Structure 1
Amino acid sequence: MASERVQRQIDRLLDEAEAAIAVSDWATVGDRARNVLRLDPENSDARSYLAAAERDTSSSQSPQTSPSTLPVATDHPASFANGRYVVKRFLGEGGKKRVYLAHDTTLDREVAFALIKSEGLDEVSRTRIQREAQAMGRLGSHPNIVTVFDLGQEADQPYMVTELMGGGDVEGLIEKAPDHRLPLEQAIKIAQETCRGMEFAHSRGIVHRDLKPGNIWLTEDGTAKIGDFGLAVALDRSRLTTEGMMVGTVSYMPPEQAMGGEVTPRSDLYSLGAMLYEMV
């Protein structure tokens, strides 16, 4: 039987899968279901979700994108942005982006190149993605926020170039920790650094809206930085997401956000509290 800590993690992943089903985000459904099955191989809900995700993926494939011809991790472009970003290797893929380790030939440094998935999106959604990326870019430099170096378009797909985070994310740190608990001192340090980055973003009029362990990244020396401002909303400009639509991650979402209401800096504080609870 799963421990209480592992069961909470399973429940969170299943909640996220259910939320993704509601918006037909089958890539996320499949990802969350696989994560649950790694923790509990016999979980019937996860098996059902994974089967549904695989059925949807299979039924939506055209003859040109059959399983035998789908690109694999090693099949990546040689470069992006007219050769400026030379791809070194594929880092991973989530529900919303594909991420590559790349070398910036102009500034001679290693970067994370994220190609935002925009297949099947209408023009309004594409515009929203671009404006949300710009919201992150407007933040400027802070030691506890992942720095955005560049934004652009590659074959009609938005991309974002950020600093490379060598320490992984906090979600991975929790998964590897004994009993999935971080030492108290480490958890407090991560929470304090996240809070500093969050305060800076709020001072620039940006609410993150999706603070969670998977969006907090670590440098090689363990410094925490907030990343993935994909759901951010600019308080001083028109809303970047549709009011009344629930977006975010259920397990860390404050009630007002879950009900589609207005988000404020306090919404992020609620999410940070939920994250701290999970860490300890």
Structure 2
Amino acid sequence: MRKVTKAIIPAAGLGTRFLPATKAMPKEMLPIVDKPTIQYIVEEAIDSGVEEIIVVTGKGKRAIEDHFDVAFELEHVLEEKGKLDILEKVRKSSHVNLHYIRQKRAFGLGHAVWCARNFIGNEPFAVLLGDDIVEAQVPCTKQLIQQYERTGRSVIGVQSVDPDQTHRYGIVDPRTKMDHLYEVNRFVEKPVKGQAPSNLAIMGRYVLTPDIFNYLEKHEVGAGGEIQLTDAIQKLNEDKGVYAYDFQGTRYDVGEQLGFIMTNIDFALRNADLRQGLITGLEEIMERELGKELIAGWSGRR
């Protein structure tokens, strides 16, 4: 069995949920406190044992390449001024060896993965989506790699979501369960609200065998008029079997506004330099908003 040493990070989306901020800035570069979201994804891949990463980009995404490039002048200035702690952070992003390919048209996640087929070749590989940051004792992708090594089959990362949120995700219809590992009847992309087969949602982490490209190359259009990765996974499941793994860890949804804001607050509260000031600021905001509600309620009773 070949080891998983390669990963694909799709980053060609338009970021419409964050417009106008993403008009000129890739959504993957929006920061969680002081680090772009995509850097969390890259670091997870590396911590999972991945040796080569290809980022699938699109028009207006050059800032991603610049971020992971070496910034000689900046590093020199930081070193001269003795700002070694900041220099270390900058170098951590600059000394990552990434490859890039463009998805020239927005045909969906399945098409983005297919664009990287020549880089992957005939090897198993991981896919990490930038809308989800996962904090775990064992990196999420590494957990999936371990399950791939155990089963020899593709493994999809899942976690439970509220039943009223299932229409937002790819959903798993599970069959049998072994610990946290599920055999799967079918994978359903964004089921109609109230008709999901379970509340086990696909959470943006995959370990796939190269067989997946046999289905993606057909370019069959699915939900939203796009080529869906979930549809190809279902066909692979029908032919060879695909597992779902309920991974351990805390998942943060940074692909929509409220989740992005809450993630920033959560991460900032763990920062010793920011924690007390943030708590004080939040308390002041809550007091002000509560006062507005009380005044509005009093005025409404008059």
Q: TM-score, normalised by structure 2?
A: 0.28
More contact order relative to length (CA 8 Å, sep ≥ 6)? 2
Q: Which has the higher strand share?
A: 2
Q: TM-score, normalised by structure 1?
A: 0.30
For the pair shown, which has the larger CA radius of gyration, 1 or 2?
Answer: 2
